[in-house]
């Protein structure tokens, strides 16, 4: 199992309902929510904090699906037709999602993605209806990728908090099992792979992307920097071997896929160095009732956090 399910217990649900209701009345800006992150984390039920820390420290599961977070006012907000321009108001559900990923790391936005939003909307946009490999697409799939694999060190964690998912379109996750790992992965450890950006990050200069490894870290639990599209080994001696290993990795990851079907109030956190994820094609109606996830990314490594250009009003990454 790549992921573990944690269903919020009735007592925790009650205290989450209070927290969500409080923030639903206050309505925060993204900056205010970040400034209040320590307080928001402290207001999470201890069972939820404990489970998140257990996930962070554990070696068995690389994704955790927390089920049963109350939506509060958010439940009645229509899925935005324009995910980027939609209001940035932090309601109770957003605040709980931010606090949860705040237990794992420092949440941040990209200045050049969704206009720098801290909480990105993964909702189908009519403008991107036919685009492949974008979060706001729908009729074309988003192939397997670790989030922002074009960076040498992408976000440590990715959160997808479901507001609604009427067609039960899953988020697919995949990774390498203990049985998969072996010497065949060695070529993928060479820092010779260029991983290009997906459409949402095209403002990063492609000519500045540095080649890096696709696999690194421990041999029995290796880390991944993977994108099924736009990855190529730099030409030179051994390029055939490098390409073969990459194809074999892609096939292994396709074999290992698991569908996680999000429902309203399900908050999925993924170790972005261990698992890649994808979304299948689906038919959107663009009438306010479509699938809607909130996406937040976070860094755990203080050296990466220090590289975030600005902490006002919240950590933001500038394209390099
Ligand atoms: O919609 C999904 O389930 C995943 C979307 C995604 O991978 C992304 O926005 O980066
Ligand atoms: Fe993604």
Per-residue pLDDT tens digits for 73-93? 999 999 999 999 999 999 999
CB half-sphere exposure, 69, CA atoms < 13 A: 34
Task: Tell me the whole-structure pTM to 2 decimals.
Answer: 0.96
Task: Give the mean pLDDT of 268-290.
Answer: 97
pLDDT digits (tens, 9 = 90+) for 24-53: 999 999 999 999 999 999 999 999 999 999
Rounded mean pLDDT, 289-316: 93
Mutate to test the pocket of ligand 1, among 160, 278, 296 (most ligand atoms within 8 A of CB): 160
Read off the tokens for 137.
Answer: 């697409």
Q: What's the pLDDT score for residue 64? A: 97
- At residue 314, the pLDDT reads 96
d(CA 22, CA 91): 9
Q: Is the CB of 142 under 6 A from ligand 1?
A: yes
d(CA 110, CA 209): 17
- Indicate whether residue 161 lines ligand 1 (CB < 6 A): no
pLDDT at 200: 75
Sorting pLDDT into bands at 50, 70 and 90, what band is 99? Answer: very high
- Band (pLDDT 50/70/90 cuts) for residue 60 is very high
Residue 235: CB partners within 8 Å, gap ≥ 6? Answer: none
pLDDT of 202 strictly over 80: no
Report d(CA 72, CA 248) in Å as an integer.
Answer: 45
* CA–CA distances in Å: residue 196 to residues 189, 228, 230, 244: 18, 10, 5, 19
Ligand 1: residue whose CA is nearest its atom 6:
135
> 19 C-alpha to center of ligand 1: Å?
27
**149 alpha carbon – ligand 2 mean position (Å):** 9
Residue 199: the pLDDT is: 75
Question: 46 by DSSP, 3-state: which?
Answer: helix
E runs forming strands in 182-275:
193-195, 215-216, 223-224, 231-233, 258-260, 266-271
Does residue 56 contact residue 50 with C-beta atoms inside 8 Å? Answer: no
Let me know if 283 is exposed, middle or buried by CB neighbors in 10 A (0-12, 13-18, 19+): exposed
Round the average pLDDT of the chain to a whole number and report it. Answer: 95
User: What is the chain's Cα-based Rg?
Assistant: 19
Domains of the chain from N-terminus onward: 3-176+260-317 (3.60.130.10), 183-253 (no CATH)
The pick from 133, 135, 147, 165 for probing ligand 1's pocket by mutation, whose C-beta has the most ligand atoms within 8 angstroms, reads 135
Nearest Cα residue to atom 10 of ligand 1:
135
Task: Judge contact between 72 and 20, C-beta under 8 A.
Answer: yes
Q: Give yes or no for residue 273 having a pLDDT over 90.
A: yes
Give the span between the Cα atoms of 64 and 288, in whole angstroms.
Answer: 28
Identify the pLDDT of residue 295.
98
**Pocket-testing residue among 63, 142, 199, 297, ligand 1, by greatest number of atoms within 8 A of Cβ:** 142
* DSSP annotation of 112: T
Residues 6+ apart with CB under 8 A from 76: none
CA–centroid distance, residue 276 to ligand 2 (Å): 8
pLDDT at 198 (0 to 100): 82
227-238 pLDDT, tens digit per residue, is: 999 999 999 999
- Pairing state of beta strands 193-195 and 231-233? antiparallel
Q: Residue 75, SS3?
A: helix
Q: What is the predicted pLDDT for the residue at 129?
A: 84
**Ligand 1, atom 4, residue with closest C-alpha:** 279
Q: Per residue in 165-200, pLDDT tens?
A: 999 999 999 999 999 999 999 999 999 999 998 877
Ligand 2 centroid distance, CA of 283 (Å):
19
What pLDDT sits at residue 320?
A: 77
Q: Looking at ligand 1, which atom is closest to the CA of residue 172?
A: 3
- The Cα–Cα gap between 85 and 105 comes to 26
Q: How far does residue 176's CA lie from ligand 1's centre (Å)?
A: 20
CB half-sphere exposure, 20, CA atoms < 13 A:
21
Rounded CA separation 106/102 (Å): 6
Per-residue pLDDT tens over the stretch 114-171: 999 999 999 999 998 888 888 999 999 999 999 999 999 999 999 999 999 999 999 9
23 and 90 Cβ atoms separated by less than 8 Å: yes
């Amino acid at each position: 199992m790549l992921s573990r399910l944690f269903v919020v217990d009735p007592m925790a649900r009650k205290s989450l309902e209070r927290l969500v209701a409080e923030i639903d009345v206050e309505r925060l800006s993204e900056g205010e929510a970040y400034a209040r992150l320590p307080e928001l984390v402290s207001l999470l039920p201890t069972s939820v904090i404990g489970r998140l820390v257990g996930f962070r420290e554990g070696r068995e599961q690389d994704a955790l699906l927390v089920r049963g977070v109350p939506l509060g006012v958010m439940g009645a907000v229509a899925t935005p037709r324009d995910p980027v321009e939609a209001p940035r108001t932090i309601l109770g559900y957003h605040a709980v999602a931010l606090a949860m990923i705040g237990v794992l790391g420092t949440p941040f936005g990209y200045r050049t993605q969704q206009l720098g939003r801290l909480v990105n909307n993964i909702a189908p946009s009519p403008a991107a209806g036919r685009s492949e490999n974008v979060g706001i697409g729908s009729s074309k799939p988003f192939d397997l990728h670790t989030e922002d694999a074009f960076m040498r060190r992408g976000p440590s964690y990715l959160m997808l908090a479901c507001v609604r998912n009427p067609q039960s379109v899953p988020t697919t996750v995949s990774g390498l099992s203990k049985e998969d790992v072996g010497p065949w992965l060695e070529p993928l450890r060479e820092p010779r792979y260029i991983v290009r950006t997906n459409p949402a990050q095209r403002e990063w200069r492609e000519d500045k992307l540095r080649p890096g490894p696709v696999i690194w870290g421990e041999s029995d639990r290796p880390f991944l920097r993977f994108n099924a599209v736009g990855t190529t080994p730099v030409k030179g001696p051994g390029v055939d071997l490098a390409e073969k290993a990459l194809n074999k990795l892609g096939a292994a990851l396709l074999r290992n896929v698991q569908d996680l079907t999000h429902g309203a109030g399900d908050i999925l956190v993924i170790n972005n160095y261990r698992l890649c994820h994808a979304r299948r094609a689906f038919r959107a109606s663009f009438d306010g009732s479509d699938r809607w996830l909130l996406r937040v990314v976070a860094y755990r490594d203080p050296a990466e956090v220090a590289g975030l250009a600005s902490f006002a009003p919240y950590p933001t990454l500038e394209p390099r």
